[in-house]
Structure 1
């Protein structure tokens, strides 16, 4: 029986890791399939994503010893609200439902991950992303011909060929009209690696930076160095202005955040909205166009255009505002989902240890800094791993909080027989535990 239980745990861990890796790999895999002549469509991409999210939901909810009832209730609530707003609009929006369901789905999946499995998955994905990113900047023609990114987005995302003004097979934003921020004059384009577009590669870099801080005490010096250096290289490759700015802000703030109560993060979103409103009121956001101030101005203006139908999520017009991520989220989901999900994410305890505090403050601040000017953070390509790390910290906190004798470490059926063994990964092997 013990051997069967151990084998079942290994199988579950492997399945969780495969699903997590699939969130990063399914887009380039489909693009590669299209490049060799296989038929592609928007429905195929949506169906693939739906299967991944459904798999995460099934694995996440199937925890017989300690079901995550709170997150299961959140899933049911999101389904009910989606059905209600869809009935009012007389149109069901599967994409919007999928975008929001991936949050509890990957939190529950992350809660099942052991430290070793999460770290191995992170390191392998980061290595693969870096290798492909270096290949892309070294041989953009070969990379573009392999994945035919422009064709992929035309066939699956509703883009037109005229949108790709720079020409070639790379994504639209692979070049900026005003040039690169980093390595200006180098002649390099903005890289995208496995994410196929630069903004998501920038978001991935921030997620990895926060995950590295969360897992810091579990990593060897070798892996700490490797993750830091590779993240810096990816930031340069993608030339991400926002991602670089967020990383610098987090570098300054997270050492302070580790001493703040984790639920203090609930103030970030209302504080951000208040700051934007005051900045607009006092004339500090007068710029327009593709600058940071201009994007913030667009976000404030987008808030001003919201009407009651937008706030209730029942507007028949559900396009536009894509560059104002928070307003876009409200229009697609409703103010009730936006506020409810924010409260659930910030008030759910991830534990009072260093890792839980950094995870909560880091990811919630990242969301607040990105959402006003972009909806890219909602993409499964980067959001899934972020919420899985959040879920991992949530699962660890549940195990530590479980009363002695009730099988705290076995609450998900996946963990080794100690409460929270440090994992050291380095040159001597992938992982070793110490009591």
Structure 2
């Protein structure tokens, strides 16, 4: 007779799951869509309202996640002191830099404090269903969808898009809502790329990859295949070539994680950063194409365009660097800040071997995502990702055993307690 999945994970099936963390995660997923609906049908919004929603979500996550352990408070004190030092050394007050890096800290701590993989599972399933339902609504009834959610009008209202940059070709959709060339995934679906609750298709594809990675690492979760299917559907609806490639590479990373030392993953983004810098300085290529090779060329150009002051986060200039997470991160918190944050992520202690596997998959996702975007800092997708990471690190469940052996599977935490 097999044990329930919750018992196999080292969890008490009778333990009630907290509701408020789930509400926060769904709120982080959908608040932009709610504001878009208000802006389209009720009243105009502005960037202050958007920032206010994010502040409430992050503050609530910190309040629930900090607890009584002194280490998180020390971490926050060091980070805020470092950010204050950077802002004092450059004539610029930029709260966005603080906000960007508080999001992963807040939701990681929230996940670790909850310490319940069932909650992360449920958040993944519910989020996946919401994303797919609204993605299908947009894809199958676009005219009705934009009647309630005028996406480009919302981005103009919040100051993300200038009115002069609005294109008549994409109508009420975001600029990337239509594929200018042929669709890569299922070409017969046409050029439309579903934005779903994220209001732009890039985040939809990224979120699909996150759901896939979680389901890949959770063979015992309830509704595992539904979660994975929701992730793949989001990738197809948004025609996310990046999301599809991440699924493939993350699967390879999952398989090799047990045999790769921690130092490899510590060094990975910095090796890539050095490689891009060298490529940017020596390459004579000037023709940019809308593919992965073109994105690598562009991120190399952005990295090599940074001044020495910008590399260390001391430049008062804020050029558009959103197409490269590497360049954006350096410009925001400097090389030493990036090294510090990445080291904290890699060396944050996990309590089970499978948590390390998940961390390797997340590291793979981040390293690849920062080639093409700074959306690793977007709360729309980052909240659930970092909550999953904290939940995974905090869980001491046993390594999943084959179904036939689960009745006698050893308890990892008990085996290592002595």
User: The TM-score by the shorter chain falls in which range?
Assistant: 0.7 to 0.9
1:155 Cα offset (Å): 0.2
Q: Which runs of 4+ in 1 moved over 4 A?
A: 277-287, 418-421
Question: Which residue of 1 is the match for residue 337 of structure 2?
Answer: 337
What is the CA–CA distance in structure 2 between the aligned matches of 1:152 and 1:321, rounded to whole Å?
Answer: 22
Per-residue Cα deviation, 1:8-32 (whole angstroms, up to 9, x for no partner) = x958x21111111111011111111
CA displacement at 1:325 relative to structure 2:
1.4
Q: Structure 1 residues 161 and 277 mapped into 2: Cα distance closer, same or farther (>3 Å)?
A: closer
Contact 1:203/1:377, CA 8 A, preserved across alignment: no
Instruction: Please give the alpha-carbon distance, in whole angstroms, between the structure 1 residues aligned to 2:166 and 2:152.
Output: 7
Q: Which residue of 1 aligns with 2:108?
A: 107
- 1:26 maps to 31
Looking at structure 2, the residues matched to 190 and 180 of structure 1 have their Cα atoms a distance apart, in angstroms, of 9
SS in 2 for 1:232: helix
Q: Where does residue 124 of structure 1 map in the other structure? A: 126
Q: Is the 8 A contact 1:106 1:387 kept in 2?
A: yes
1:191, 1:198 within 8 Å by CA — same for their partners in 2?
A: yes
Query: Which residue does 1:404 correspond to in 2?
Result: none
Are 1:276 and 2:276 counterparts? yes
Shift of 1:253: 2.8
Deviation at 1:286, TM superposition (A): 6.0
**Is the 2:218–2:224 Cα contact (8 Å) retained in structure 1?**
no
Q: Which residue of 1 aligns with 2:44?
A: 39
Call closer, same or farther: CA 1:92–1:282 in 2, change over 3 Å. Answer: closer
Paired residues for 1:211-230 under 5 Å: 211-217=214-220, 219-220=221-222, 223-230=223-230
Question: Relative to 1, partners in 2 of residues 1:293 and 1:188: Cα closer, same or farther, differing over 3 Å?
Answer: closer
CA RMSD of aligned residues (A): 2.4
Matching residue of 1:163: 165
SS of 2:192's partner is coil
1:83 aligns to what? Answer: 84
- Report SS of the residue matched to 1:334: helix
Matched, 1:362 2:361: yes
CA distance in 2, matches of 1:45, 1:420: 42
1:179 is the counterpart of 2:178: no
CA contact (8 A) 1:262 1:361 kept: no
Using a 3 Å threshold, how does the CA distance of structure 1 residues 248 and 202 change in structure 2: closer, same or farther?
same
1:41-93: CA deviation from partner (whole Å, max 9, x where unpaired): 011101110111111111111x23xx1x3333222122112222222333321
* Cα offset, 1:279, TM superposition: 5.1
Alignment match of 1:135 (pick from 120, 134, 137): 137
Shift of 1:235: 0.9
Give the distance between the partners of 2:351 and 2:412, measured in 1 at CA.
14
Q: CA deviation at 1:209?
A: 1.1
| Partner deviation per Cα, 1:207-244 (whole Å, 9 max, x = no partner) | 11111123223x14xx1221222222111100011111
Range that drifts further, 116-125 or 69-78? 69-78
Conserved 8 A contact 2:112-2:394: yes
Which of 47, 56, 72 is the equivalent residue of 2:61? Answer: 56
Distance change (3 Å), C-alpha of 1:420 and 1:16 = farther
For 1:201, the equivalent position in structure 2 comes to 204
Cα gap change, 1:235 to 1:94, in 2 (>3 Å): same
Shift of 1:342: 0.7
Cα distance, 1:177 vs structure 2: 1.8
For normalisation by structure 2, the TM-score amounts to 0.86
Q: Measure, in 2, the Cα distance between the counterparts of 1:212 and 1:262.
A: 23
Matched with 1:322 is 322
Q: Following the alignment from structure 1 to structure 2, what is the Cα–Cα distance between the partners of residues 201 and 116? A: 23
Residue 295 (1) aligns with residue 295 (2) = yes
Instruction: Report the Cα distance in structure 2 between the residues aligned to 1:158 and 1:131, rounded to whole angstroms.
Output: 26
Tell me, in whole angstroms, the C-alpha distance in 1 between the residues paired with 2:413 and 2:384. Answer: 21
1:190 pairs with one of 189, 193, 196? 193
Specify the alignment match of 1:411 in structure 2: none
Q: Which runs of 5+ in 2 are unaligned?
A: 1-11, 399-410
Deviation at 1:298, TM superposition (A): 1.6
> Following TM superposition, by how much is the alpha carbon of 1:118 offset from its aligned partner in structure 2, in angstroms?
1.8
